[in-house]
Structure 1
Amino acid sequence: MSSAAHRLEHPREVWTSEEGSMARETAVTRWPKIVQSMVDDVGETLGQSECMERQQIDEGRRIQQALRILKEEIIQDQPLRPLSSDGRTDIESFNTKLASFGHAITWHNCPWLFAECHLYRCVQTFFSRSESTFWQNYDVFARQKLNAFLASHSAVKELCERYLSIADSGACFATTADEETQRLLFFEMTEVALWGNATDLSLLSSLSLDQIHSLQGKKAIQEGQARIVSNDMAAAWEHLRRLRPGGGRVDIVLDNAGFELFTDLIYALYLLGAGLASAIRLHVKSIPWFVSDVMPHDMDILLSALTDTASFPSANNESVRTVAALLSAAYQDGRLAIQENPFWTTGLDFQEMPVWAPDLFEALQESALVIFKGDLNYRKLVRDATWPHTTPFKQAIGVLGGGSSGDKAGIKILALRTNKADVCVGLNERTLEKVEKEAPRKAWVRNGKYAVVSFSEGL
């Protein structure tokens, strides 16, 4: 193999030193702001210190100071430092990866994906190494996650009403008329999950069964998919359709809490009701991560909010109450289950899963489908590498794609991702030319208005 071919097959990860890149902008501008927001959040909690013990106050101030120092290290482009142990097993993977570079990497000259993971894991050590159990269990992003969800109550109400209009009171989809309508309904519901980080439901066409089945409805769905620059939705449908009746276990590796988590839960109810899944595992982060990622308690907070008429106005709505009851029932009887694994919060890309988390990899191999939500999960799937945009998705995910990419079968993957970073694969030449004209200067991979739906059978 020529050196040129080798570079194509194993491209370099995106680095923060690349001028004009999102990585550079994030490191220089966004990271300091995020850390400052953490300082402010701890300060707001300390402002309620009349309810706190002296040790808790002192520890909070110590954490604030550690955050301020970290912020200055980023601004001044200091080297990344090895992480101090806080008793969790994932620290080793960070420090091993950091040492593997063979030289000091600085915040403005480092692999973007690894450094950002390192940042959030470093912050967590400030809290978890505290002598106060209050701070050890503190979610520095909980306040803003909850506030964002409470602000989305109108969108929650609308989505509940639209979902129940096609779900036979949410119990089943027996009223779905024919195979074509079922296929179109799968497309619509998958788009709900795809665009779930936007509370503007005008992004979606109507969820009325009659309209979906009509020529106008089909046209609306096609128009709605125009911004999906690589679309394997039909292949994913055929894969799940073959598993009916009953379906198999589906895993969803979640992304953001709040309204996006709610859309993911609506999607889960749909998959269960349509017989496309028999059970669904929701994979969450075990520590505060990338500001808004789902942790176990975010599920409980969301379910509680849906029935809290004092803080969530739409909790008075009958459709919201019905959906809340359906979710609670599925959660209680185990059809919906939360799972944690420390691998999700390492600085490793997902192609390192067979080595660093073999039990997780084997469990996901047994899944009927693993749905990876969001930008971060997508970047980890494809190693956040500078692949040509026309690189096939299966090639970019390496061993996870199975077949010639690895020694054994991979994972059945459906990636749902709105484009918010420069890495993007799976486009054909014609589509690439089209979107580069529509949204030039990398806008189509950065502005969140375009998306990919990428499927791999893992064979």
Structure 2
Amino acid sequence: MLGAPRMDSLPPALTLEDEESFAWRVFHQRHPELIRRLNCAHPYGPEQREALSALVEESRYGVIAGLPEDAPDRALWQEWDLGHVGTPWKKALFLWAESYFYRRLLEAVGYFAPGAWNGVDPFAPFKTAELRSPTLDVDFAWLNDMPSSADPQASFDAALSASLYGNRADLGFRLTAAGTSSSHERLVADDSLQLWQFLTDYAPVRMTFVLDNGGRELLSDLILADHLLVTGLASEVVLHTKPFPYYVSDATTADVGDCLRRLTEMSGEPGAAGRRIHQAAADGRMRIRTHPFHCAPLSFHHLPKDLADDLGAGATIFKGDLNYGRIVGDCAWDPTRPFHTAASYLPGPAAVLRTLKSDVIVGLSPGCVRDLNNRDADWRVNGNHALVQAALDPRGATGVA
């Protein structure tokens, strides 16, 4: 375990008790709607439907039940429990509770049990529908107008912005051959220049992506990975996926394969990027890895040594809200707390690309916070804002020259 913060040094942790909170809405509004959609998407029988309904009821009003005796990861979850099992859900830490909800969801649909539903991704219909969208080819045609190699910083900026905004349908509007100034105007924090300078100073760097969503976002992550390899900024790229389906759209190894096939089907430069990444995998310059801890309900302060060593072998780009909360801690932080302070314990240089869809945030200027609070009461959670934040001290990273 890395340098876990002293509990008396942390602000209040986010829980499910406050009925005005984002966390409460997730459990009382988002989760019931998710279960409705799952029942519509799959021919589940009475056993699965009753188990899903019972899970929603328990997680809103009941006491946290443990995993079955024969659950393959029961011992891990006993280690990760933090004393929550047997206590009311509403008292649980939000990060822990939401992670455990998705683990219990897989149990409810028989994902780990022998039988017809063993290993069947309950979220696959949603992911497949996104990849089948007839607008995908148009949405990614911007890559044909990528800034030329004569302006390497502009082309890097476009690829980085693609990875940041890749889950938004208006990506083509944001990214143009003229540059990405319009997208940067929406950033509440922007360390992209520091990331560019770090990569050019230390290239080639072993780059790890701790992925977030599949679908459009993963397609854009693959484009950024290709760009880093083609330009020589990266010596190799490692993609860290979830070990099993999680948080609806989180990327698994199967999702990487699906997205790579979809990318290679596109015409022009998107298809060429897909073929290059496929060849990079064959050559060993692009690797896919996973780890049980990627589905743990704990912050990255608790990284096991083998995963910490892997992430410390170069620089890491963490994607999305969940990874952000796991880096800084799922607490009611002062939003002006410096990000590099919150992330200083990580085993190597790191950057985060995130659209804001949950409460936790640090690293903003007081003026920015004041302006956002005045203009948009839901700015932390409505997905209308984004950030690029970095903590790029190269010391101790073995894959940084």
Tell me the TM-score normalized by structure 1: 0.78
Are residues 449 and 203 of structure 1, via their aligned partners in 2, closer, same or farther at CA, if it must alter by over 3 Å?
farther
Establish whether residue 205 from structure 1 lines up as the match of residue 151 from structure 2: no
In structure 1, stretches of 5+ residues that fail to align are 1-5, 47-59, 168-174, 213-220, 308-314, 401-409
Write the deviation string for residues 272-322 of structure 1: whole angstroms up to 9, x where unpaired: 111110111111011110001111111222233446xxxxxxx47344543
Counterpart residue identity of residue 141, structure 1: F
For 1:278 and 1:243, locate their aligned partners in 2 and report how far apart those are by CA, in whole Å.
Answer: 11
Q: Per the alignment, do residues 37 and 86 of structure 1 end up closer, same or farther by CA in structure 2, a change over 3 Å counting?
A: farther
Kindly name which structure, 1 or 2, has the bigger radius of gyration based on alpha carbons: 1
Kindly provide the CA deviation profile for residues 224-270 of structure 1, in whole angstroms up to 9, marking residues without a partner as x: 212211111111111111123xx121000111111111000011111
Q: 1:420 maps to what in 2? A: 357
1:437 to 350, 366, 374: 374
CA contact (8 A) 1:203 1:224 kept: no
**2:149 alignment partner, one of 160, 167, 176:** 176
More helix per residue: 1
* Displacement after TM superposition at 1:99 (Å): 4.7
Match of 2:387 among 452, 455, 458: 452
Q: Secondary structure at the match of 1:399?
A: coil
Which residue matches 1:94?
77
8 Å Cα contact 1:250-1:279 kept in structure 2:
yes
Task: Measure the CA separation in 2 of the matches of 1:157 and 1:350.
Answer: 37
Amino acid at match of 1:194: L
Q: Tell me the SS of whatever aligns to 1:108.
A: helix
Q: 1:11-410 to 2 correspondence within 5 Å?
A: 11-43=11-43, 61-75=46-60, 77-86=61-70, 88-89=72-73, 91-101=74-84, 104-126=86-108, 127-132=110-115, 134-151=116-133, 153-159=134-140, 161-166=141-146, 176-177=149-150, 181-206=151-176, 208=177, 211-212=178-179, 221-244=180-203, 247-306=204-263, 315=265, 317-353=267-303, 357-367=304-314, 369-397=315-343, 399-400=345-346, 410=347
SS of the equivalent of 1:445 reads coil
Tell me how far apart the structure 1 counterparts of residues 258 and 306 of structure 2 sit (CA, whole Å). Answer: 29
TM superposition shift of 1:347: 0.9
Q: 1:68 to 1:147 in 2, by over 3 A?
A: same
Closer/same/farther in 2, CA of residues 114 and 205 from structure 1, 3 Å limit = same
Identity %: 28
**Deviation larger for 388-397 or 78-87:** 78-87
User: Gaps (5+ residues) in structure 2?
Assistant: 1-5, 396-401
Alpha-carbon offset, residue 109 of structure 1: 3.2
1: CA distance, partners of 2:308 / 2:365? 30
Contact 1:349 1:381 in 2 (8 A): yes
Aligned equivalents of 2:201 and 2:292: distance in 1? 33
SS of 1:135's equivalent in the other structure is coil
Q: Are 2:242 and 2:294, in contact at CA under 8 Å, matched by a contact in 1? A: yes
Query: In 2, distance between residues paired with 1:427 and 1:205?
Result: 25
Q: Tell me the SS of whatever aligns to 2:363.
A: coil
SS of residue in 2 equivalent to 1:444: coil
Aligned length: 388
How far has the Cα of 1:21 moved from its partner? 1.1
Query: Post-superposition shift, 1:104?
Result: 4.2
Letter in 2 for 1:15: T
